[in-house]
Amino acid sequence: MAQVLEFKLPDLGEGLTEAEIVHWLVEVGDVVAVDQPVVEVETAKAMVEVPCPYGGVVTARFGEEGTELPVGAPLITVAVGALSPDEVPDALETATPAPSGPADPAAAHAAAPSGSAANGSATNGVAREADGASGNVLVGYGTAAAPARRRRVGPTRPTATVPHTAPATGTPGTPGPAPAGIPVSVSAGQDTPAAPGTAPARGDGPVPVISPLVRRLAREHGIDLAELAGSGPDGLILRADVEYAVHAARTRPRAVPGQDHATTPAPRPSAESSPADRSVPAGGVVRTPLKGVRGAVADKLARSRREIPEATVWVDADATELMRARTAMNAGTGPRISLLALLARICAAGLKRYPELNSTVDTAAREIVRFDALHLGFAAQTPRGLVVPVVKDAHTRDAESLSAEFARLTDAAREGRLTPAELTGGTFTLNNYGVFGVDGSTPIINHPEAAMLGVGRIIPRPWVHEGELAVRQVVELTLTFDHRVCDGGVAGGFLRYVADCVEQPAVLLRTL
């Protein structure tokens, strides 16, 4: 007899709390092996393939592509053990989630009446191991048994308010259910089966709300979440649902004696309209959710500007000799040396002279933490947005090793294959925004680092060289630094050293 085990979205590390389903790698009915990737998800840091710790037949998937799930939410159920041909259809049917079930499995468990025959199965076909352990060994997943999923059936009450959603098609000769979000009064003894397409009664169980902001918004406006029908996946109550309820409460006509308005609220927006559409005024405003990489970048930049008292210094440098040196390096048959690698070597030498810039500020302890190792981040623009991969121990690498690592991380960033470890742990950032055809910038420091070196485009310009006016390859170098870790003398000394190495690469040989 096969056991049907539930696999939840594991903790993917680095403090991530949710992930968006990008692409399912398996279908219901597929046979999966232990540790086989079953879904590709996008976190705030990277695209990750999630392996399943069970081997067997996939009996259910939770969430469509594009759905954002919190850590701990169910991903799939897998029938583990030998399945006879006759058992496969039963396993698929019993493990399929109810169409209008709650987003949180714990909510379903709390709302299901004990011993109810309406459930059809006490665990909805999901069997647990005898000792209560899940068997999962992924990071942060634990081994505690998860609550079983149940179909929720609302208890019979003398007068219960049950939100219904209209099905796609009606049955001739039978009265159709009320439109979505319109409460229907149910008398005692009346049967209210949780048919597909209808929202079952919540009873006394928790309401399907994930976001604390949604709860706070409802509390501030006196909205009872238990009376709302969520428009999110599996009836999840979204912020737009609360905002609509607030608007409806403000525009609801005053009660007239002898007339009951409690059960006739204003009609809700159609099911086809998205939550963003409900708040878009006439005039063509487009709202883009700040989530995933874009949301992580927004949070980090805002925190940097809020916490770091940054200052910026810049200088023009004649890069003609550096470009000639690179051309000479690449004249042979060996691996090509990138300009970014040469700039990274110069940064490593400069930070050895001015280690104050390879540090961070521990605000809780009110201490400056200086690092011995240089983990060099570099800004990379990808189709998913701006990311900053990190070259670990950059101070120990030569130009060839740096060129190869920059190329590897850039390719991985463009393909969305960077791991969280490759996107964190930087101590200093090199930003080559010259590839965008601009000369200078005042970049925002990559929190919690203390400095960032910006490099503009290298273009021919008039320059006084050896006492005569000449056309030289000139670049603008910009250093943005945390004024808490050093004063302008240190920042200026570092930038001047970098500029000297760019103008006369032989200066760098003295420190190698």
User: Both tokens of residue 242?
Assistant: 């609360």
User: Closest Cα to residue 94, out of 152, 132, 150, 34?
Assistant: 150
Q: Which residues contact 210 (CB under 8 A, 6 or more apart)?
A: 70, 103, 104, 236
Q: Annotated catalytic residue: which of 23, 261, 465, 483?
A: 483
42-51, 96-105, 339-348, 398-407: segment of lowest average pLDDT:
96-105
Half-sphere exposure of 382 (CA within 13 A, CB side): 25
Kindly state the average pLDDT of the residues 36-53. Answer: 82
How confident is the model at residue 428, as a pLDDT? 98
Whole-angstrom distance, CA of residue 66 vs CA of residue 9 = 15
Tell me, what amino acid is at 472? R
Beta carbons within 10 angstroms of residue 464's beta carbon: 10
Strand-pair partners of 18: 70
How confident is the model at residue 141, as a pLDDT? 40
Kindly state the average pLDDT of the residues 11-36. Answer: 83
Strand-pair partners of 37: 51
What confidence tier does 40 reach under pLDDT thresholds 50, 70, 90? confident
26-35, 162-171, 200-209: segment of lowest average pLDDT:
162-171
User: Both tokens of residue 121?
Assistant: 């199965």
Whole-angstrom distance, CA of residue 123 vs CA of residue 134 = 15
pLDDT tens digits for 384-419?
778 899 999 999 999 999 999 999 999 998 888 888
- Residue 126 has φ and ψ, to the nearest 5°, of -100, 110
Helices (H) and strands (E) in the chain, counts: 11, 21
User: Closest Cα to residue 101, out of 244, 271, 293, 230?
Assistant: 230
State the distance between the two ends of the chain, measured CA to CA, in whole angstroms. Answer: 68
pLDDT surpasses 60 at 124: no
Distance of CA 125 to the CA centre of its chain: 32
What confidence tier does 212 reach under pLDDT thresholds 50, 70, 90? low
**SS3 label, residue 169:** coil
**SS3 label, residue 469:** strand
Burial 357-388 (b: 16+ CB within 10 A, else e): bbbbbeeeeeeeeeeeebbbbbbbebebeebb
Burial of 399 (0-12, 13-18, 19+ CB in 10 A): middle
pTM of the full structure: 0.54
User: Closest Cα to residue 203, out of 185, 222, 226?
Assistant: 226
120 versus 471: the higher-pLDDT residue is 471
Report DSSP state, residue 258: T
pLDDT surpasses 90 at 99: no
Kindly state the average pLDDT of the residues 192-213. Answer: 51
483 is catalytic: yes
Kindly state the average pLDDT of the residues 296-300. Answer: 84
What confidence tier does 180 reach under pLDDT thresholds 50, 70, 90? very low
CB 233 within 8 A of CB 103: yes
How confident is the model at residue 382, as a pLDDT? 82
CB 127 within 8 A of CB 233: no
CB 354 within 8 A of CB 494: yes
227 versus 277: the higher-pLDDT residue is 227
- Residue 50 has φ and ψ, to the nearest 5°, of -100, 120
Tell me, what amino acid is at 384? R
Beta carbons within 10 angstroms of residue 34's beta carbon: 12
2-6, 222-226, 241-245, 272-276: segment of lowest average pLDDT:
272-276
Report DSSP state, residue 450: S
User: Both tokens of residue 86?
Assistant: 């006759």
